[in-house]
């Protein structure tokens, strides 16, 4: 009843205030997320990265199946040992501010990333030297073989920003992005929207819509109400529990597809009680994942059965942790926490994430783990996680509803940023400060060769080792669901939860 009431209120409000929304060739994209940054080198969330990809482009990119394709580079070659990668750049491309795209522009961006000062700097960690061969040829010389390097170059964290804009804005580029993409940054009103407008001189051809506005709408019912009222053209995620209310309406299309988005509970593992692997294992036994999937996620998910989802390269099934309260209680007693302990539950305030956290909190009461929920918009959520330090003087045990999609399509990016010790303090997205020598060894082993068989062996062993160490409370893998007006064509969701808008078009 609460969900229906909120949806009705939102619908009435929007019908009365339609003039606040764009029309004609102006598209509204409503999501449960908020933009955190528009600096591709310093962005850690998929949603912000997707908006950035409409503005900026990389040397390489991904198609709709996360296969690597050339973008600002027209081709590339590499040596037999996979330690040198040379890219031939496209000619005649300009940034939105008139600056030329060339090797020098690439050098400025790579040098910025190689400072180590940005969230995506680790993408360039393998690089020993960057060489400008000529105005339209660049070479990356690596410290050691790295077979997934082209995937790293295609990652949205390696997008190329105008060197003139970097010089002008510095790190304020996060609010002033300038690229070569189909859309130009227009405005960002915090808490309200990000708007981009068409690039009339786009090098790949005509852009068919004038603007796209990205609005954060955390509440599921309100997001769907916007679509039905004609005040949004595309919504993601489409709340699975409300699917029946729209799927028979020919004005709309509901799109379901598999994802590589893993969901889990982050624990600060450097401190008691989560430093004890038995406590972490107890949490995994105490979580009824099927119930959370069914109620909080509308059934649109499958249990996580390895640290990475099935559609990532080198995935190896481990088998989901069974729901076993007796085993969970026995482990808590063995670890000396028979009476339980208090934690803080952290979560973004999007409807399904908040419900999933509430359900996990209720389930963990059965083994004595209690506490309060702190919910907030997604940007504030990640700011809070990033504010923790491995050497906090007075650490507070927390469980945080996390999510990750490896936007390189490779096992390395699905594991290394989340559980490697590399980068302390803090490890890039290792918000629980998990640290294990054997895990670090296997993470590095996966980077040492370009041979797929060698890499597969390392990642298969790594998944087996880390599964039992339980750095997270493992939950599930999303089955992505979005919805749109039937008149909208060309917006495509990607398996990592990002999206492409280059070919967006409203048809009659």
- For residue 471, count other CB atoms closer than 10 A to its CB: 24
Reference 311, options 169, 473, 465, 480; nearest CA is 480
pLDDT at res. 24: 55
Judge whether 401 and 350 are in contact, CB under 8 Å: no
Cα 16 to its chain centre, rounded Å, is 35
pLDDT at res. 147: 79
- Look up residue 455 and give its two tokens: 């890499």
Q: Where in the chain is the domain with CATH 3.90.76.10?
A: 56-163
pLDDT at res. 16: 36
Assign 86 to helix, strand or coil.
Answer: strand
CA–CA distance from 216 to each of 304, 321, 329, 481 (Å)? 27, 34, 40, 17
Reference 179, options 72, 331, 329; nearest CA is 72
Reference 498, options 188, 71, 49; nearest CA is 49
Per-residue HEC secondary structure of 214-280 comes to EEECCCHHHHHHHHHCCCCCEEECCCHHHHHHCCCCCCEEEEEEEEEEEEEEEECCCCCCCCCHHHH
pLDDT at res. 227: 97
The residue assigned the tokens 């390189």 is: 408
Q: Which CATH class is domain 2-54+168-255+482-506?
A: alpha beta
d(CA 252, CA 483) in angstroms, rounded, equals 7
Reference 417, options 61, 50, 155; nearest CA is 155
pLDDT at res. 486: 97
Angle between the N-to-C axes of helices 437-445 and 452-469, in degrees from 0 to 180, rounded to the nearest 10: 160
Q: Where in the chain is the domain with CATH 3.40.190.10?
A: 2-54+168-255+482-506
pLDDT at res. 1: 39
Beta strands 398-405; 252-267: pairing state: antiparallel
Q: Where in the chain is the domain with CATH 3.10.105.10?
A: 259-479
Beta strands 341-348; 398-405: pairing state: parallel
Q: What are the backbone angles phi and psi of residue 18, rounded to the nearest 5°?
A: -60, -25
pLDDT at res. 344: 97
Q: Which CATH superfamily is domain 56-163 in?
A: Dipeptide-binding Protein; Domain 1 (3.90.76.10)
d(CA 222, CA 13) in angstroms, rounded, equals 10
* DSSP at 491: -
pLDDT at res. 409: 86
Q: Which CATH superfamily is domain 259-479 in?
A: Dipeptide-binding Protein; Domain 3 (3.10.105.10)
CB within 8 Å of 141: residues ≥ 6 apart: 83, 84, 127, 128, 129, 130, 131
Q: Is 284 exposed, middle or buried (0-12, 13-18, 19+ CB in 10 A)?
A: buried
List, for the chain, all residue ranges whose pLDDT scores fall below the cut of 70: 1-24, 422-428
């Amino acid at each position: 009843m609460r969900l229906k009431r909120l949806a009705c209120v939102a619908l009435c409000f929007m019908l009365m205030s339609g003039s606040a929304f764009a029309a004609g060739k102006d598209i509204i994209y409503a999501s449960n997320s908020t933009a955190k940054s528009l600096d591709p080198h310093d962005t850690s969330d998929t949603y912000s990265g997707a908006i950035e990809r409409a503005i900026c482009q990389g040397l390489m990119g991904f198609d709709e199946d996360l296969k690597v394709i050339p973008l600002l580079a027209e081709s590339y070659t590499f040596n037999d040992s996979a330690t040198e990668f040379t890219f031939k750049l496209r000619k005649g491309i300009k940034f939105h501010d008139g600056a030329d795209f060339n090797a020098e522009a690439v050098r400025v961006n790579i040098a910025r990333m190689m400072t180590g000062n940005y969230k995506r700097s680790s993408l360039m960690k393998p690089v020993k030297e960057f060489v400008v061969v000529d105005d339209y040829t660049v070479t990356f010389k690596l410290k050691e073989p790295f077979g997934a390097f082209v995937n790293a170059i295609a990652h949205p964290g390696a997008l190329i920003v105008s060197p003139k804009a970097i010089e002008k804005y510095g790190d304020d580029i996060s609010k002033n992005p300038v690229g070569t993409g189909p859309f130009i940054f227009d405005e960002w009103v915090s808490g309200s929207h990000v708007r981009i407008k068409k690039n009339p001189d786009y090098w790949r051809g005509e852009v068919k819509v004038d603007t796209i506005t990205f609005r954060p709408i955390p509440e599921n019912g309100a997001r769907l109400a916007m679509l039905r009222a004609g005040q949004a053209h595309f919504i993601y995620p489409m709340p699975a529990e409300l699917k029946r209310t729209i799927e028979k309406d020919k004005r709309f299309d509901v799109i379901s597809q598999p994802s590589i988005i893993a969901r889990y509970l982050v624990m600060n593992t450097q401190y008691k009680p989560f430093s004890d692997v038995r406590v972490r294992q107890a949490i995994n036994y105490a979580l009824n994942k099927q119930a959370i999937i069914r109620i909080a996620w509308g059934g649109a998910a499958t249990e996580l059965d390895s640290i990475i989802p099935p559609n990532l390269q080198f995935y190896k099934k481990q088998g989901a942790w069974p729901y076993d309260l007796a085993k969970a209680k026995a482990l808590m007693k063995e670890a000396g926490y028979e009476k339980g302990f208090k934690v803080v539950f952290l979560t973004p305030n999007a409807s399904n994430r908040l419900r999933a956290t509430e359900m996990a909190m209720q389930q963990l009461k059965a083994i004595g783990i209690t506490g309060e929920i702190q919910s907030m918009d997604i940007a504030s959520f990640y700011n809070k996680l990033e504010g923790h330090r491995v050497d906090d003087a007075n650490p507070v045990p927390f469980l945080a509803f996390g999510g990750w999609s490896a936007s390189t399509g490779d096992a390395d990016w699905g594991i290394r940023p989340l559980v490697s010790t590399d980068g302390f303090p803090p490890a890039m997205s290792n918000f629980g400060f998990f640290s294990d020598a054997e895990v670090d060894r296997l993470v590095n082993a996966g980077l040492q060769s370009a041979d797929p068989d060698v890499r597969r062996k390392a990642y298969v062993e790594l998944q087996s080792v880390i599964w039992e160490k339980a750095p997270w409370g493992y939950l599930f893998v999303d089955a992505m669901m979005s919805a749109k007006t039937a008149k909208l064509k060309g917006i495509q969701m990607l398996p990592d939860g990002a999206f492409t808008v280059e070919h967006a078009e409203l048809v009659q």
